[in-house]
Amino acid sequence: MSNRFPKSFRLRNGKQFQKVFAARCSAADDALILFALANDLPHCRLGLSVSKKVGNAVIRNRWKRLLREAFRTSQSVLPDGLDLVVLPQRNVDVQTVKHLDKSLQRLAAKIMTRIVRKPTVLLTRAEHQVEPVKSTLESLGFRVLLQPTIDILPPESWAETDEAIQNFQQDKFDWLIFSSSNGVHAFFDRIGDTQRAEPQSLAPKSLDYATIRIAVVGTSTDAALYHRLGRHADVVPETFTAEGVTEALLSEARQGRRFLHLRANRGRDVIKRLLTEAGGSITEITVYRSVDRTHPDPQIVEFMQQGKIDYVTVTSSAIATSLVNMFGELLRQTSLISISPITSQTLCDLGFPLHCEAANASLDGIVNVLRSTGSPTTISPKASSPLPLGEGCGEDCFRSEKPST
């Protein structure tokens, strides 16, 4: 155990103290009064309130030194994730470190039965994609952490995209197909960027967005399209998968329609293969790259090691693979919630059984699964309550129980 008492383990301003007192969660014995409040950290923080009623400056300073030492020596057995404010009882002689150590542990154990901790969800999408899901989950009583697992980058070259835009202007395509909101933003950002650089070449006004026929994979992509163009897609499949959008377009493909598919640099070839087999002509271009992050946030790793992340959202096969590469066996310390059967299968192929699968392949589906957990649970730093298997969880959905220690 280090002899230091770092600033990160201290309550350092009046607002932090007032938040703990306002929670009105306390316990007392013959030596100490302890107030506590759950925090969002993997360790406890200590605040001392030693008033003049305890004694003169010499006595007060001795109390503070001994309480800090008692806190330091008992950290390994104190529950994680609490802000603690300690007050000595009045008219009590200064105690020994051993006595204060036992008092802190006893009071913390007593207070733990009344502390409420928000269940913690780890969102794994890119930073710009976490809203409005983050705000929705927070409004439902969840604590939300972020760990992007992939970075969204421009393609290595825009040549294919620029050529495709020119061809679209010349009516060489009948349909646009977007597989994700990233594709929507990347494509129309490129049109805007090029228009500003070369005003006469790829001006957005030269494309009649009201008459362009567009298909998207799901409602999130449709929302991105509406944000960019002020209109919805012509086709949004009932099943938010590549198979779903392809099935909705088969009749068009059989008539020999020409499709332009805007996609990422990796993923399945389902759309191209099935539409081509049906008689359609499809051109696929990469409008953005999905690149795995290799190094997780150290604090997220610490939370994961301590079993303090209750649920991890897995919203694509690429994210599933990146998560496994990032965290490995630590993922068994939490509950994995998959967005779709394809993502679920990827997790299972990687050897990580999921906890539950969304009923529909969308972020709303993920939120609905988490909503079924109900209100925040009593804090348990070493394990968390498993999510009930509900709608969207079938025979192939396996519960990943957390070990209790």
Q: Please give the domain boundaries of the chain with CATH numbers for all domains.
A: 7-116 (3.30.230.10), 118-149+293-378 (3.40.50.10090), 154-280 (3.40.50.10090)
Query: Cβ distance 81 to 348 under 8 Å?
Result: no
**How far is residue 76 CA from its own chain's centroid?**
28
Flag whether pLDDT at 309 surpasses 50: yes
Whole-number Å distance between alpha carbons of 195 and 208: 15
Determine the average pLDDT of the residues in 149-160.
Answer: 93
25-34 confidence digits (pLDDT tens): 999 999 999 9
Q: Report, as an integer, the average pLDDT of 340-361.
A: 90
Residue 16: how many other CB atoms lie within 10 Å: 16
Which of 313, 303, 350, 343 minimizes the C-alpha distance to 328?
A: 350
Of 58, 11, 53, residue with least CA distance to 36: 11
Amino acid identity at 182:
N
What value, to the nearest 5°, has the Cα angle with vertex 262 and ends 260 and 263? Answer: 140
Q: Which residues pair with 377 in a beta bridge?
A: 117
Report the pLDDT averaged over residues 304-329.
92
Q: What is the pLDDT of residue 263?
A: 94
Taking residues 156-170, report their average pLDDT: 88
pLDDT of residue 378: 37
In 265-345, which ranges are E strands?
A: 281-292, 311-314, 335-338
What pLDDT is recorded for position 79? 83
* CA–CA separation, 249 and 384 (whole Å): 44
- How far lies 137's CA from each of 131, 261, 324, 384, in Å? 10, 33, 24, 18
**Please, what is the average pLDDT of the chain?**
84
At 167-214, the pLDDT tens digits run 887 888 999 999 999 999 999 999 887 766 665 554 444 566 777 899
pLDDT tens, 231-263?
A: 999 999 988 889 999 999 999 999 999 999 999
Query: Average of pLDDT values for 50-76?
Result: 91
